Amino acid sequence: MENCEKKIKIGLIGLGTVGSGVYKTLKSFKNVEVKKIAVRNLNKPRNIEGLDDSIVTDKPFDVVNDPDIDIVVELIGGLNPAYDLIKTAIENGKHIVTANKELLAKKGEELFTFAEEHNRVVLYEAAIAGGIPIIMPIKTILAGNKITKIEAILNGTTNYILTKMDVQGASYDAVLKEAQELGYAEADPTGDVEGFDAAYKITTLATLAFKKRIKIENVYREGITKIRAQDMHAANDLGYKIKLIASAYLDENDRADVRVHPMLVSKKSTLAHIDYVTNAVSISGHPVGSITLSGPGAGEFPTASSVVGDILAIAAELGTTDYLLPMMRCKHESAAVPVNIADTENKYYLSINAKNNKGVIGKIGKVCEDNNISLASLVQRGVSEDNTAEITVITELCKERDMQNVIAAFEKDDSINKINSLIRVQI
């Protein structure tokens, strides 16, 4: 006998890499049906078997205004027109699934409040780490934990570039060019290489984990464009790998230190071995201790996996209750008190090019000492033909503010030619 259950109608906005993966994956579920798809360019060829052209439109408001559609899936990214489309869809009684990390980081608060006022849910598993399940686990199975620390690799492009630099001993520029040719990096890679993408993701992840709102403007951000092949080499010698780490720490006074920057990560740590386009999230909390989830952070089917999971979670509840998925809803009203990067304590790796004069090492030590900084190691790596020395320093734990004072003092010092690199070290 035919099952007469009403199919849940889906509206897709965006049919790029992820949208295509979602459409193809949904084909194997009998209880859902894609009713309409909005695309930017109707004439773009798409490698999707059996795509019915009659459901494709270049007018996205036709999707959010369609009375038959139950769930709107937004996969176009960016703030405009995504924000208006989602708000209109919610007003029209639709639930939302999105992969839009920028929108959540910048407008999440307004969006979740608006959805709650209209008794609709917004799910966003795909917005943080592609195919890695992280949002639902934090909201459900880890709900009994006080999470105090997240360290994560959330951007595949930068992780790919850093891995290739490490393996090939190549420069940042050479590897970026190669990554662009292979399609791992965009023609304009700024969003990835300057850390914006990872910053959007850690903003939402920290808000969720700490149950306090994190504002994107309080997230310190530094990209990978200044990392040199020599830094990779020095880090390896010292027992580290260099990774772009998105981190969030909640201190004993419940203040949030949220940031994205390159780090020397100990080879003993899991994150040091997350290579190429893989992503990983390490979470520390009580009572669970520390756990790490890793997997594909992007791509057609891994990201589609998260999107479809969200769609099916909503579809399973439609028609069974007036208040869907209470555990997945946004419950935090208070904003976290942010910690300024200048007030944080870190260890540092410092690469200095100095004149090979007597006493230069002593001078470096003295400037650090005058600014309350102790050194864990100081290595001079030979002398060049032009009589300059490459000196590598690793500090003990010290204040960021003191470190910046040291850099300022070095920049005024005649015996120091250049600060090549200043990179924080994982504690």
Cα–Cα distance measured from residue 167 to residue 276, given in angstroms and rounded to the nearest whole number: 10
Catalytic residue among 101, 106, 201, 212: 201
Cα–Cα distance measured from residue 128 to residue 163, given in angstroms and rounded to the nearest whole number: 21
For the chain, the straight-line distance linking the first and the last C-alpha, in angstroms and rounded, comes to 63
287: cis peptide before it, omega within 30°? yes
Cα–Cα distance measured from residue 383 to residue 368, given in angstroms and rounded to the nearest whole number: 23
Q: CA angle, corner 91, sides to 88 and 94, nearest 5?
A: 90
Q: For residue 47, what are its two tokens? A: 């490698």
Contacting residues for 102 by C-beta, under 8 A, at least 6 apart:
77, 78, 79, 196, 200
| 3-class secondary-structure state, position 332 | coil
Cβ count near 127 (within 10 Å):
28
Give yes or no: 201 in active site: yes
Backbone angles phi, psi at 243, to 5 degrees: -135, 155
For residue 93, the one-letter residue type is: G
Tell me how long the chain is. Answer: 427
| 3-class secondary-structure state, position 1 | coil
Residue spans of beta strands (DSSP E) within 342-410: 345-355, 375-383, 388-395, 398-399
Taking only Cα atoms into account, the Rg of the chain, rounded to an integer number of angstroms, comes to 24
* Unique residue bearing structure tokens 């830094």: 231
Q: For residue 306, what are its two tokens? A: 């998260």
| 3-class secondary-structure state, position 172 | helix
Annotated active-site positions, please?
A: 201
